[in-house]
Amino acid sequence: MGNNAPCLLMEILFVSHKYPPAVGGMEKQSFELIQGMKRYTKVHSIVYEGGESKLRFFWMLRKRILQTCRENPGITAIHFNDGLMAAICAGHTGYEHLLRAVTLHGLEVVFPNRVYQRFILPRFNRFDLIIAVSQATAEACVQRGLSPEKVVVIPNGVDAALAETVKRSDFQQFMATKYNLDVQGRHILVAMGRSVRRKGFSWFIENVVPKLKGDVVFLMIGPFQRKPGGFEIFLKYLPAFLRNQIALFAGFPTDEAMIRQLLERPEFQDKVRHLGKLPFEDIRQILAASDAFVMPNIPIEGDMEGFGLVCLEACLCGAALFASRIDGITEAIHDGKNGVLLPAGDVEAWSSALNGQIAGQPGFAVQSEVARRYTLGHFSWNKMAEAYRDQFMRALLLRQQ
């Protein structure tokens, strides 16, 4: 089968509650998967775009799936884009005759709730195809009783256009004017993402930043509340075990409170800044001007990093990558090829590597052009869509035997 050959016997309905205009790695993956599969077969979609409440979206889902299938009798497969969709739809009736597939990203596999692990996760075996975004996620699936014959690994892709990022000549003035930040002559380290504990942001600030030499500024980018919100205050009154599970399930930024405390400490006020959510073009410029992008994840029981998409994006923008050798990050960062993997939670290893990079010593980071070429050669949304196509076709053929 050629790469552009249509799959005449396959017609797919994609169902996702993570989709633009919402912003995030899962939203991007869902969008690129649906768009990419249109090159190979006829595609339908039921996606949440914010025009109604999430509760109503889930409440009406079975009815909408059945209606779409009635209106399009050629549909042969349905894909659910994460474990929450799978948990809700595993008990649906009326379309069991269709191939059903789900993509699992990490947290929905290791979520630390006994009821979930005992009664809900095993129901995922009702699906014909279970797609894990990394080998680490696949291993977690099998360890928790999901059928190894159904589990396959398809890594996420990355937008190749990011490799065309060019640092603006007035970057220092741009940062001073727009963000009131003087970066002239300073070494810029960047981290990006939601402030959840597994990302290790507060660990990095408290343990690694004090050991860095030279004039360094550590910038964090992503959603961030400067003051505690109502939900955070509510969580404080819950028992610890319940608080942790609700926070994980809701994607609550569990590291935010600690980061706020650290930002108030005098020794960090000139060295650490949280810039909050930024326009994507500004993010590209900051990454292109950085000395390093860091992903200092730490092990958190009941949570995991399914992949490392943000690392790939930073790499293509020209940043040198330093990341923890943990979870699915190792699927995105190949040590010595497009970045450097360091022991999670090892202060000396992290400070030594970053001080070497800051000092410009050779051998501490992969050259940006080498890393870019490697990343472009191994990861793309096109490669991801092709892999999904092949796995759908394989699963459909197995059902026909």
The 10s digit of each residue's pLDDT in 266-314 is: 999 999 999 999 999 999 999 999 999 999 999 998 899 998 899 999 9
Cβ atoms of 199 and 297 within 8 Å: the answer is yes
Residue 64: the pLDDT is 97
Domains of the chain and any CATH numbers: 11-157+380-400 (3.40.50.2000), 160-378 (3.40.50.2000)
Spatial distance between the Cα atoms of 355 and 324, rounded to a whole number of angstroms = 16
How large is the C-alpha radius of gyration of the chain? Answer: 22
How many Å apart are CA 237 and CA 62, to the nearest integer? 36
Residue owning tokens 């089968």: 1
Mean of all residue pLDDT scores within the chain: 91
- Average pLDDT score over residue span 157-171: 92
Per-residue pLDDT, averaged over 322-332, amounts to 95
User: To which residue do tokens 């060295």 refer?
Assistant: 271
Token representation of residue 384: 């991801």
Question: What does the DSSP 8-state code read for residue 367?
Answer: -
User: Could you tell me whether strands 321-324 and 340-342 are parallel, antiparallel, or unpaired per DSSP bridges?
Assistant: parallel
Question: Edge-to-edge strands of the sheet including 321-324?
Answer: 272-274, 216-221, 187-192, 292-295, 321-324, 340-342
233 has a pLDDT exceeding 80: no
Stronger pLDDT, 352 or 231, i.e. the higher one? 352
Under DSSP, the state recorded for 339 is B
Share of the chain above pLDDT 90, in %: 77
From the list 289, 292, 264, the residue with the least C-alpha distance to 176 is 289
Q: What is the pLDDT of residues 359-389, one digit of tens each?
A: 988 777 888 899 999 999 999 999 999 999 9
pTM of the full structure: 0.88
Greater model confidence, 25 or 52 = 52
Residue 335 per-residue DSSP state: B
